[in-house]
Amino acid sequence: MIQVNKLGILLRKTSNTFENEGVLNPAVIKVGNTIHLFYRAVTKDNYSTIGYCALSAPMVIRERAEVPVLFPQAEYEFKGLEDPRIVKIEDTYYLSYTAFNGINALGALATSKDLVHWEKHGIIVPEITYEEFKHFTETDSTGHEKYLRFNDYQKSHQSQERKIFLWDKNLIFFPRKIDNKFCFLHRIKPDIQIVVAIEKLEDLTIDFWQNYFSHFDEYIVLAPKYHHEVSYIGGGCPPIETTAGWLLIYHGVHDTIKGYIYSACAALFDLKNPQKEIARLPYPLFSPEKDWELKGEVNNVCFPTGALVEEDTLYIYYGAADERIAVASLSVKELLAELALNKI
C-alpha cells in the first residue's frame, strides 16, 4: 500500500457572495515560484464561478481574490462554470471547465497567455442528444444499455422547444502535444474517453464527432473495473508525464446504501499511445475518511482535480465533500512502483 498523507484543508468558503456556499475542485499550475489555484466557487442555487488564489508553497496561501476571475457570460454557461482543470501547452494556458446552463453540462474551454486575460472558446465537446449518440454509435460494438442508465433523463425529457444533450464533463487536456497534436480526456458516463490527434480546435466539427462515435469503442480508455469504482469513473487531474508513462489521477464512484462514495484513484498510460492503459491500482489511492471529507454539501467525496509535483512528492488538490479544498501528498516513486505491480 502507498502512504498517503492528508495535509488538511487548504481553502474554505467565505462570506463573499460568490463563494458563500462552497469552494471545491481546483485547477492547479505552478509558474516560477507561484502556485496558481483556479477553483470552483459556489453561491446559492448552485451557481458557480471561478475563484482564484496564489500560493507561495503547496499549503501556504499568499493572496486570494475577492471576486471571481471567470464567470458566466453566455447562454451555454449561464448557471455556472464548474470544476476547472489547467495545463500549459507551448506558450498558452488551457483552462477547461464544465459549462452548465441549468439543463446541459458540457466541456468548455478558455485560454490565456498570462493567466489574467482569458479568451473563451465555448463548448468543444459534442452537443448531441442521446438518440443522436445512439444513432452515431449503431455501427460500433459498444452496448448502449450502460449509457442509457446514466442518460435516461436526457432521453425522456427531450422536446422540440429545448434539446437536452448527452452530458459530457471532465474535459482535461494533456499538458503537451503528442506527435504535434492535441489530446484530451472527456467523460460520457460511466467511462473515460479520449480524443487524440487533433491539430487545432477547429477540427472538432460535427463530421469529426460522427466519425469518432462510429469507432467509439476505440476511444474508451478507462472503464469501471474494481469495487470502489463500480458505478462510474471520471477524469481527475491533468495527466502527469513520468518515465513510466502518463500518470492519471481520476475519481471512482461506488453507489452504496449510504449514497455515492467518491475516491481518488490512479492509472498509468503509454507515453506514445495514451489510448493504451498500462496499469491501474486495484484499490483507491485515498477515500473519504476525515470529517471534512465525510460531511458537507455532498457527503463522502474526495474529488481530485489539481496536481503538483515537487521533486518526488505529488501534491493532489481535491474537493472535499463538495464544500472545501484539501490537499494530500505521496511519493511519486512509491506510486509508480505500486502501479508496476498491477500492470494490465
Give the residue numbers spanning the domain of 126: 5-340
List 268's β-bridge partners, or say none: 247, 279
- What integer pLDDT is reported at residue 139 of this predicted model? 65
- What integer pLDDT is reported at residue 147 of this predicted model? 76
pLDDT band, very low/low/confident/very high, at 142 (cuts 50, 70, 90): low
Residue for cell digits 458557480?
48
Q: How far apart are the first and last CA of the chain?
A: 18
Q: Residue 293: phi, psi to the nearest 5? A: -100, -25
The number of domains in the chain is: 1
DSSP-derived 3-state class of residue 2? coil
Q: How confident is the model over 15-28, as pLDDT tens digits?
A: 999 999 999 999 99
196 contacts 184 by C-beta, under 8 angstroms: no
- What integer pLDDT is reported at residue 313 of this predicted model? 98
Q: Is the pLDDT of residue 342 over 60?
A: yes
Q: How confident is the model over 26-77, as pLDDT tens digits?
A: 999 999 999 999 999 999 999 999 999 999 999 999 999 999 999 999 999 9
- What integer pLDDT is reported at residue 153 of this predicted model? 58
Q: What percent of the chain lies above the pLDDT cut of 90?
A: 88
List, in order, residues 6 or more apart from 152 with CB less than 8 Å away: none
Q: Is the pLDDT of residue 158 over 60?
A: no
pLDDT band, very low/low/confident/very high, at 159 (cuts 50, 70, 90): low
Q: What percent of the chain lies above the pLDDT cut of 70?
A: 94
**Average pLDDT taken over every residue of the chain:** 94
Q: Is the pLDDT of residue 303 over 90?
A: yes
- What integer pLDDT is reported at residue 163 of this predicted model? 82
- What integer pLDDT is reported at residue 150 of this predicted model? 74
Cβ burial, residue 286 (10 Å; 0-12/13-18/19+): buried
Q: Is the pLDDT of residue 244 over 80?
A: yes
Q: How confident is the model over 198-230, as pLDDT tens digits?
A: 999 999 999 999 999 999 999 999 999 999 999
Higher-scoring residue by pLDDT: 314, 148: 314
Distances (CA, A) of 291 to 11, 125, 190, 238: 15, 36, 28, 27
For residues 248 and 292, give the distance between their C-alpha atoms in angstroms, rounded to a whole number: 24
Look up the CATH number of the domain holding residue 315: 2.115.10.20
pLDDT band, very low/low/confident/very high, at 333 (cuts 50, 70, 90): very high
Average of per-residue pLDDT across 9-14 = 98
Q: Is the pLDDT of residue 187 over 80?
A: yes
pLDDT band, very low/low/confident/very high, at 152 (cuts 50, 70, 90): low
162 CB neighbour count, 10 Å cutoff? 11
DSSP-derived 3-state class of residue 334? helix
DSSP-derived 3-state class of residue 124? coil
Q: How confident is the model over 91-139, as pLDDT tens digits?
A: 999 999 999 999 999 999 999 999 999 999 999 999 998 888 888 887 6
